[in-house]
Amino acid sequence: MTEQLDFASRRELFLHALGFERVRGDQIGEIAGQAVAKTFPKGSTIFHQDEPCRYFYVVARGIVKVEFCSAGGTCVTYLLAEKGEPLNLVGPFTGLPRMMSATALEASVLLLVERDWFVRFAFRNPELVTGIIQILGRAVDSANNRLIDMMEKRVQERVIKILHVLNRKFGDRLAFTSSEIAELAGTTTESVLRCLGALRERGIIRSGRGELWIKEPVRLERFQDEAFWV
């Protein structure tokens, strides 16, 4: 199901895409010309773990979850990508399968660029390469920070931190289930629910089936500090 997304929209998207900030205008036009839009219904798989990389993907609309799963079945969410965020920065260069899979959390539109073409494009745009390396550096830092949080913070604090991060990125209404939040905080659904219950009692959030609202972002932040001092 290939949706028509006109050239101007694709160009606009790449102009503000993460990692493409400093790429020259004519080059943006070139990659926009090569990109093809494709829609994915809610819950569908965009690419799979252990599947060789064929395309470079950028989110044009919707939210895509990229997750990392072990043989044992445990999964951690690596990325929640929205408009302008690339899904796979490494795959195109190696062509090899990675340990990640991507699914659409809501009906989404992605831009696809043929892998070979993308790599050649990157090599003649140093600004893009710098952008990619920068993003990968952030990814490494983020993963290490989560590792440290797993060690020194308790479940409550981790959940609150996740809510805070989600709030900054997606606003006051968060359309995530408790198990999705658990996968981000590195804990179980039940523990998340208990934590949400406590926050709801204090009037900091409001929660419903598959969505929750942050009512008092400031108190959320403060609550995190409080927890830290207990």
- Residue numbers of the site for a second copy (CB under 8 A)? 68, 70, 72, 74, 76, 78, 89-90, 93-94, 98-99, 122-123, 126, 129-130, 132-134, 136-137, 139-141, 143-148, 150-152, 186
Q: Nearer Cβ to DNA, position 164 or 200?
A: 200
Q: Which of the choices DNA, a second copy, none does residue 62 contact, using the CB cut-off of 5 to 8 A by kind? A: none
Spatial distance between the Cα atoms of 178 and 188, rounded to a whole number of angstroms = 9
Per CB under 7 A, does 126 bind DNA?
Answer: no
Smallest distance, DNA to C-beta of residue 206, A: 10
**Distant-in-sequence, close-in-space partners of 180: CB < 8 Å, separation ≥ 6:** 65, 77, 105
Spatial distance between the Cα atoms of 172 and 206, rounded to a whole number of angstroms = 10
Spatial distance between the Cα atoms of 66 and 142, rounded to a whole number of angstroms = 14
Number of residues in contact with DNA under rule CB under 7 A: 20
Within 10 angstroms of residue 60's Cβ, the number of other Cβ atoms is 24
Among 134, 59, 131, 49, residue whose Cα is nearest residue 96: 49
Per CB under 7 A, does 72 bind DNA?
Answer: no
Write out the two tokens for 189.
């659904």
Window of 76-84, 97-105, 109-117, 183-191 that interacts with DNA by CB under 7 A: 183-191
Q: Nearer Cβ to a second copy, position 60 or 132?
A: 132
Per CB under 7 A, does 194 bind DNA?
Answer: yes
C-alpha dist (Å) from residue 103 to 6, 60, 160, 175, 184: 24, 14, 24, 15, 15
Q: Nearer Cβ to a second copy, position 93 or 170?
A: 93
Q: What residues are paired with 103 via a beta bridge? A: 45, 65
Q: Which of the choices DNA, a second copy, none does residue 171 contact, using the CB cut-off of 5 to 8 A by kind? A: none
Q: Nearer Cβ to a second copy, position 62 or 131?
A: 131
Residues that bind DNA (CB under 7 A): 154-156, 177-179, 186-191, 193-194, 196-197, 200, 207, 209-210
